[in-house]
Amino acid sequence: MANKKFNKHISSLREKLHLNKKRYQPSVDEFAKSQQENPDDIIVKMKDVKISFKMGGVERVIINHLNLDIRRGEILGLVGESGSGKTTIGRAIIRINPVRSGEITYNNVLISGKIPKEREKLLKTKIQMIFQDPSASLNERANIDYIVSEGLKAFHMYDNEEDRLNKISDIMEKVGLRAEYLNRYPHEFSGGQRQRIGIARCMVMNPEFVIADEPISALDMSIRAQVLNLIREFKERNNLTVLFIAHDLSIVKYISDRIAVIYAGKIVELAKAERLFEAPLHPYTKSLLSAVPIPDPQIERHKKIVVYDPLMHNYTEDDVPQFYEVEEGHFVRANKKELEQYKNELKKIGGK
Amino acid sequence: MKEKNKVIEVKDLSLGFVTRGHKSHVLRDIFLDIYEGETLAIVGESGSGKSVFTKTFTGMLDSNGFISSGSVMFEGKDLVQIKNNKEWLNIRGRKIATIFQDPMTSLNPLFSIGYQISEVLRLHSRPSKEELKQYKEQRKNDKLLEKSNLQGMSKEERKDYFENKKIKKSELFAKNYEKLLNNEEKINIFKKLLIKYDAYKETNYQIKNKPHGISKRQAKKEAIELLKKVKIPNAEKRYKDYPFQYSGGMRQRVVIAIALACHPKVLICDEPTTALDVTVQSQILQLIKDLQKEFNWTTIFITHDLGVVANIADRIAVMYGGEIVEYGTAEDIFYRPAHPYTWALLSSLPQLGSKDEPLSFIPGNPPSFAKDIIGDPFAERNQYALAIDFISNPPMIQISDTHSAKTWLLDKRAPKIQKPKVILELRERMKRAADELLKEQGEIDYGK
């Protein structure tokens, strides 16, 4: 009995504490300040990044010498096969995977390695992530209300209970779910709806930068279109920057402004979405393009699949391939001989 | 159209599940013929009943499922009537094999890849109980006959008889030994001994006419042969590896090898490429196509991606809400789609979308089977729905010899409607997509 009373007392105390807690406001918004000081087009900059894991005492380098700029307000598609390290890159930006060397900056402020706790906290309000499998990434035991507002609670980004509810029901409406669903649990929803909840959870934080890690790979064909539309809608409304990770070029083409093709931890080609489809240069990009299924039996039966063999380049030790800019905004990984060849190819295809 | 042999004939199949004492009807009145050597694709959203439908072919329905009416004819036998698991074992795996979606869950992580393939080979080559029983009786009769023969012989004749038998046995042994020796590539003393043992066993079986399965070593050889067939490099070395050492695509290849092991007549592929990358997906599809040419089986291909289907299917059946709403040849479905659901599926493909307009999608959710569906199950999500769709379920209306669709729009009394924009421009958009993606391959044959 006494125990019960004690518990009640504690919970009431907690409630008071919770209500009196002030809304999270960073003492200095380093990122905004840095942006004001030197307004820059680039939001995330990765410089010579190396990511490795230790497996059984052996260090395995997943990504080495990675340089990648993500521009403000764009959707950058990151395409590659499974195991190529595309998810690892996404997770490194949001500090889930540690970076061994090199640096990642956000608005010209360092965010990799050891950084002040306050900066890390601030960063996590700015960057959000959408995960692949909507059934695995939602807590089965929590209701939607809790799932969506978990981020808000963690940073106390609301004035009072009413404000929080308003925010949540507002976001639910925006992703096309009814506010009365808030008391339900994830298993009561279909795959598409679950992914919408995942998007709502991400967007309620009002992020500047979103990492979408294969958000539609696990979904049905008819639902994919809904989720793609939703991400694009949010991007236009909030001026988001999105890193869109996928393995299917056809989907990325529809949604992204620029596309980076990654193979075995190295970016092999980077170009504007239309240009990459017009003038693919690297053989791996070509093989990816040929693998996209076309919904036409006549064409599909006659097409040949290009299989990429990494040994075809014959790179030697003194002849290390580098990332060259073959034309404006179009980068490709090649050695000098290949670079000439690619340039000739571009001449044949013609300008933009 | 040529008359083809039907492999599986589904007639008026209805099926349901009992959950918490409540009956729900999942499949309703399905008619479908599957012809020999063709590839039939079944397309539909998750929850449309496409997996459940093919599970009736192999008797893998969950225990709370029941078939309320209809028949599935396979080799003159009604599969619906089979209740006995022993009877199923003759069909499942041996004649109708299945490849599942996730190769990690269909392979056992505790056993090596090689063991799992040779296990299937050995299991299915094992003689049945009836065969063994028959053999026992035969053996008994033979012995009695020999005894009576021996009684009529003189002492010397008897000696000759046994001598003859011995010589015959040793000759047979030599033959078997040589045969097995020739098959092996590298031979050391230990292996020679093993081969001797095998040859001895084989000879014994042959003399006694005993039915027997293949030996472990023979199974290993065949398993490696199968691994080579599904294009796994270094098959001899990878035989001993475990599933976790294989990549996703390779695992799916192993599953295909296991399905291949018994030379099935029908191969059911239940979303075999959904968990795979696009590049690997195209390779696996090519593999299935090549092997089908070689072994001449019938493929039933289940998927939710219409793009994948274009590559592999001869005929397509579109399923929605537990019914087949449209079926026809691949050309029928892609060039002359008739059902609004097929329109919606086609127009939601991102390959055909362009950047200036949002992708079209199907609003709402597939119907729940908990309640009985009145009228057309697609009516609620259908922007072309007529008033009658909510009242009565449309009949299957034939459009051509090969093409039928289940929609009231094809009825004579139905009003003419404007098809969606994507469907009208379908051919152009497909060509545009093909031009972009396959520019490298020069001239593309667009057909008619």
pLDDT score recorded for residue A200: 92
Question: Measuring CA to CA, which residue among B6, B10, B3 is closest to residue B37?
Answer: B6
Contact with chain A for residue B374, Cβ under 8 A: no
Name, in order, each residue with C-beta under 8 angstroms of A87's C-beta and a sequence gap of 6 or more.
A213, A214, A245
Question: Measuring CA to CA, which residue among A298, A166, A221, A186 is closest to residue B318?
Answer: A221
Position with higher pLDDT, B43 vs A217: B43
The reply to whether B301 falls in a domain is yes
B345: pLDDT strictly greater than 70: yes
Inspect the interface and report whether the beta carbons of A300 and B438 lie closer than 8 Å. no
CA distance B408 to chain A (A): 23
The rounded percent of chain B whose pLDDT value lies above 70 is 96
Question: Measuring CA to CA, which residue among B386, B301, B265 is closest to residue B7?
Answer: B265
Inspect the interface and report whether the beta carbons of A229 and B359 lie closer than 8 Å. yes
Chain A residue nearest residue B281, CA to CA: A291
pLDDT score recorded for residue A17: 64
B21 & B97 share domain: yes
**Matching residue, tokens 């929590």:** A142
Coil, helix or strand at residue B43: strand
Q: Read off the pLDDT of residues B418-444 as tens digits, 9 standing for 90 and up.
A: 887 777 787 788 777 777 777 666 555
* pTM of the shown model: 0.82
Give the residue from A227, A296, A305 with the most B CB atoms within 10 Å of its CB, the best one to mutate.
A296
B265: pLDDT strictly greater than 80: yes
- Region B83-92: mean pLDDT is 84
B302 & B355 share domain: no
Position with higher pLDDT, B305 vs A270: A270
The reply to whether B230 falls in a domain is no
**A289 vs B contacts (CB less than 8 Å):** 436-438, 440
The reply to whether B446 falls in a domain is no
User: Which of B279, B345, B438 minimises the CB distance to A81?
Assistant: B279
Inspect the interface and report whether the beta carbons of B307 and A295 lie closer than 8 Å. yes
User: Which residue range is the domain that position B176 belongs to?
Assistant: 127-212
B116: pLDDT strictly greater than 60: yes
pLDDT score recorded for residue A50: 93
| Measured distance CA(B88)–CA(B94) in Å, rounded | 10
- Region B134-153: mean pLDDT is 88
B272 & B348 share domain: no
- Region B394-407: mean pLDDT is 89
pLDDT score recorded for residue B92: 86
The reply to whether B155 falls in a domain is yes
User: Which of A82, A277, A294 minimises the CB distance to B277?
Assistant: A82
* Assigned token pair, A293: 């299924």
pLDDT score recorded for residue B184: 64
Inspect the interface and report whether the beta carbons of A288 and B278 lie closer than 8 Å. yes
> Domain A31-264 is classified in which CATH homologous superfamily?
P-loop containing nucleotide triphosphate hydrolases (3.40.50.300)
Coil, helix or strand at residue A83: coil
Neighbours of B261 (CB within 10 A): 24
Inspect the interface and report whether the beta carbons of A225 and B344 lie closer than 8 Å. no
B32 & B74 share domain: yes
ipTM, two decimals: 0.78
**B292 vs A contacts (CB less than 8 Å):** none
Inspect the interface and report whether the beta carbons of A222 and B279 lie closer than 8 Å. no
Coil, helix or strand at residue B113: helix
Bridge partners (DSSP) of residue A294 are: none
Residues B125 and B117 sit within 8 Å (Cβ to Cβ): no
**Mean pLDDT per 10-residue interval, chain A, length 352 residues:** 78 67 77 84 92 87 90 92 87 91 92 90 91 85 92 86 90 87 87 88 92 86 83 89 89 89 92 89 89 82 81 82 88 89 85 58
The reply to whether B194 falls in a domain is yes
B102 & B131 share domain: no
Domain count, chain B: 3
Give the residue from B438, B446, B448 with the most A CB atoms within 10 Å of its CB, the best one to mutate.
B438
Neighbours of A320 (CB within 10 A): 8
What type of residue sits at position A166?
A: N
> How would residue B1 be classed by pLDDT, with cut points 50, 70 and 90?
very low
The reply to whether B253 falls in a domain is no
What is the residue-wise DSSP string for B2-69?
A: ----EEEEEEEEEEEEEETTEEEEEEEEEEEEEETT-EEEEE--TTSSHHHHHHHHHT---TTEEEEE
pLDDT score recorded for residue B217: 82
Q: Which of A160-174, B123-137, B179-193, B217-231 has the lowest mean pLDDT?
A: B179-193
| Measured distance CA(B270)–CA(B56) in Å, rounded | 13
B275 & B354 share domain: no
| Measured distance CA(A320)–CA(A317) in Å, rounded | 6
> Domain locations in chain A?
31-264, 275-352
Q: List all residues of chain B from 248 to 277 with a beta carbon under 8 Å from chain A.
A: 248, 277
| Measured distance CA(B387)–CA(B431) in Å, rounded | 37
The reply to whether B228 falls in a domain is no
pLDDT score recorded for residue A133: 81
B283 & B355 share domain: no
Question: Measuring CA to CA, which residue among B299, B215, B312 is closest to residue B256?
Answer: B299
Contact with chain A for residue B164, Cβ under 8 A: no
Contact with chain A for residue B433, Cβ under 8 A: yes
Inspect the interface and report whether the beta carbons of A221 and B345 lie closer than 8 Å. yes
pLDDT score recorded for residue B445: 55
> How would residue B315 be classed by pLDDT, with cut points 50, 70 and 90?
very high
The rounded percent of chain B whose pLDDT value lies above 90 is 14
Question: Measuring CA to CA, which residue among B389, B398, B302, B384 is closest to residue B343?
Answer: B384
Give the residue from A217, A298, A306 with the most B CB atoms within 10 Å of its CB, the best one to mutate.
A298
Which of B118-136 are b and which e, b meaning 16 or more Cβ less than 10 Å from the residue's Cβ?
A: bbbbbebbeeeeeeeeebe
Question: Measuring CA to CA, which residue among A109, A118, A101, A147 is closest to residue A26?
Answer: A118
B175 & B76 share domain: no
Inspect the interface and report whether the beta carbons of B349 and A295 lie closer than 8 Å. yes
pLDDT score recorded for residue B40: 93
The reply to whether B299 falls in a domain is yes
